[in-house]
Amino acid sequence: MLTVVAFILALGLLIAVHEYGHYRVAVACGVRVLRFSVGFGRPLLRWKPKVQHPGQDTEFVIGAFPIGGFVRMLDEREGPVPPHETQWAFNTRPLRHRAAIVAAGPLANLVLAVLLYSLVNWIGVKEPEPVLASPVVGSLAESAGLRGGEWVQRAGFADGEVEPVRSFESLRWLLTRGALDGRDLRLVVASGREGGGRDVLLPLSAMSAKDADPKLFQRIGIVAPWTEPVIGGVLPESPAARAGLQDGDRVMRAGNVQVVDGQQLRQLIRASVDGQAPVAMSWRIERKGQPFDLTVQPEVREEGELTVGRIGAYVGAPPAMTVVRMGPLDGLWRGMERTWEVAILTVRMMGRMVIGDVSLKNLSGPLTIADYAGKSASLGVTSYLLFLALISVSLGVLNLMPLPVLDGGHLLYYLWEGVTGRGVSDLWMERLQRGGVVLLLAMMTVALFNDVTRLFG
């Protein structure tokens, strides 16, 4: 139920803001708006404000199907317009007015994203401290000399300057951008929060990353923040319970390996298989200050094409958290920066998908969005606001794409009109619209297929 409510609220807000951008600029440009609708189909709610802007008689509607919305304006191309009202028609307005009205919708979504990111910065959000867990064996991080327990003080791309790292999530964002953009990342790490650090270069440009998924961070080697190697949540009749493990046990050694953190211990457990058979390990643990030995034999599980070991317990204590909060100006500036970064990354990913350099598996549809809406809402207000900001940027960028059925396609028509002095002919308009519908349906089909694969595959 939470997923459905969070999804509908998200769609309703983002669509309303998008259409309000069109509506408000249309009114400012002297175009009569006949209907402002959020959703399609049978109207669930409709009203006309008693006080309207000069020249307006707009009906506001909430439709039964919230997937989309529209602003219907007076237009001679859509029906007869009395001669005394042509001054209010969209098609009679100057080119700059028509372009501004079309662009206002996507820009409204981008402005909303700035406000949402800024609001999160002002409220503050709890995030893991930027302390690295043990790197994945054979990864870039391990090859670069990282061993786990390092505090990331500053980070930045190799062709720029390094800046303070506020949290582990900030570091993950830099890793994502660097891997997908093919840019090396420079870290300044130290053994603690204070003190001198050393430089570490992660050659992310050598990865040729195509997918933004968990495997990406496995290849980089930085998967999670540092956690103490503590056992918790032992399930009844699990391998952990049969071995005698209890909540709060601290693992000091597994086999011949000295355990330093939860990530390393998870890797050791996953690797404790030989083909399809589990491999028993001798563990040295500490319980209430007293060390003693146990033998732990995991159970074998299939994860896709991999065979891994599991013990039926939570491995690793919760990471140390920090509250990331900014002042009014810093928060607003960082909100604008994050919106710009996400928008540019989205454009680059779309471009790379078009040329086949990035997998189409990165496209997401309504099922994935609904799933993330529910999960983010369950995590709290700030997580849900961050989700809304991300989707708002995506909606704004998507609508600026030069597809004929989208706002970007109409802006392309106006660019042609501005350069040649004449509008696109009705014949070509019809052809382009049909082609745009086909492309959009193809994208939606791929996105829906990816949704089903992620959620049910």
d(CA 235, CA 195): 42
d(CA 369, CA 388): 10
Could you tell me if 64 and 37 are in contact, meaning their C-beta atoms sit under 8 angstroms apart? no
As to burial, measured by CB atoms within 10 angstroms (0-12 exposed, 13-18 middle, 19+ buried), residue 64 is exposed
d(CA 285, CA 302): 28
d(CA 342, CA 212): 13
Give backbone dihedrals phi and psi of 402, rounded to 5 degrees, phi first.
Answer: -80, 50
Residue 163 Rama label (left phi>0; alpha psi -120 to 50; beta): beta
Could you tell me if 247 and 232 are in contact, meaning their C-beta atoms sit under 8 angstroms apart? yes
At the top level of CATH, which class does the domain 140-220 belong to?
A: mainly beta
* Cα dihedral 349/353/359/365 (nearest 10): 80
What does the pLDDT read at residue 28? 93
What does the pLDDT read at residue 209? 62
What does the pLDDT read at residue 283? 93
Could you tell me if 286 and 250 are in contact, meaning their C-beta atoms sit under 8 angstroms apart? yes
Could you tell me if 248 and 255 are in contact, meaning their C-beta atoms sit under 8 angstroms apart? no
Residues 6+ positions from 294 with CB-CB distance below 8 Å: 243, 244, 245, 282, 283, 285
Catalytic residue flag (residue 19) = yes
Q: Where exactly are the structural domains of the chain? A: 93-124+327-457, 140-220, 231-318
d(CA 422, CA 426): 12
Could you tell me if 268 and 298 are in contact, meaning their C-beta atoms sit under 8 angstroms apart? no
Q: How far is CA 78 from CA 56, 68, 89, 90, 299, in A?
A: 18, 20, 10, 10, 67
d(CA 105, CA 396): 8
Question: How confident is the chain (457 residues) per 10-residue block, as mean pLDDT?
Answer: 78 92 94 91 88 87 86 88 87 93 95 96 91 89 89 90 90 88 90 78 80 74 90 90 91 90 90 87 91 91 84 90 91 94 85 68 63 68 89 91 86 88 79 76 70 62
| Domains 140-220 and 231-318 in one fold | yes
Q: Which candidate in 19, 169, 237, 286 is catalytic?
A: 19
CATH 3.30.420.10 given to domain 231-318: no
Residues in the chain: 457
What confidence tens digit (pLDDT) does each residue in 395-449 have? 999 889 888 888 988 898 888 888 888 887 777 777 877 877 777 777 777 766 7
